[in-house]
Structure 1
Amino acid sequence: MSDDSVTIVVPEPHFTLFNGQRDDLPEVVVVNDALLSFEHTEMFSWHLEVTLHAVELVDNGMPSPDESLLLFQMGDKIEQSIVGHNGIFLARSTWNGFRQLAFRVHDPEVADPTLQALLESEQNRFWEFKMQHDAEWREAGFYFQLFQLASGNNS
């Protein structure tokens, strides 16, 4: 190990569930609240948003139980390819026929080809992703503000 190596300890994930509404439709959001106190945000300066398109929907645009299981399986496969040395799971949202997965990424040049290869492999549902540089974690702020809204803090 060289003298200029740094070891970053990523906190064990801990999840908070939010049941809410967006555009008068139900939304279920799970946020990795361990990242609220993560001190090395500069190491994961890229925001990755993956959107899975659900097909079998029930009331209010939510996926059927079988569809939800399929989306979880696809999401787990995507998560396994990102999380670890190159990415951190941030949040999952289910709303209006979509399952969105949010990650923080260290190196986009590692994540992009991995995701492209997954896109080219056989998938049961259409999905897409976008990754953007976000050194200030502004994109994560949408998820983090849920904690203030849930506690009634408007500051």
Structure 2
Amino acid sequence: MLINVRISELLTDTSNSIPLAIIISISFYSSVHSTIPYSIVPFTSYISNISNTFNDILDIILLYINNGIISFTSNFTNTSFTTTNIWDGNLSETSHITSIGNILYTTYSIWLILTSIILLLAMVGAIVITLKNDNSKGASRETGALSLNETPSNFQKM
């Protein structure tokens, strides 16, 4: 079995991760809410009120950060192109994937960095889960023919 889940881990109380799950789900929903059609979204009015409240709080935080010491966002307000020259699109036609890549690397680079960190944590987590701990019972790790705790009996000093 790839993931070894113990019964004692299943019986432990994991209610301390519920607030984190709520915060992550609200932030995900607030970022995706503008792209989802209203006919698909269940509980539209209730969730939109929560989303609007969360967006207002986020706007206040970002306004404070922009007026504070560190500015994370760009100073350009009316940027509508991903390149500096408007005529650049007339020279070569780009595909949709290329356009998405240009936008991700220029305008939304923070989301690209966040998703790469999340994927890195997922890969490291999968590796850590699958590792077996052989030293749990006090056994010594062996290298070659000798153990690290043993010394050879025929060792001679020069």
Question: Shared topology, TM-score over 0.5?
Answer: no
Q: Which has the higher contact order (CA 8 A, sep 6+)?
A: 1
More helix by share: 2
More strand by share: 1
Give the TM-score normalised by structure 2. Answer: 0.22
Give the TM-score normalised by structure 1. Answer: 0.22
Structure with bigger gyration radius: 2
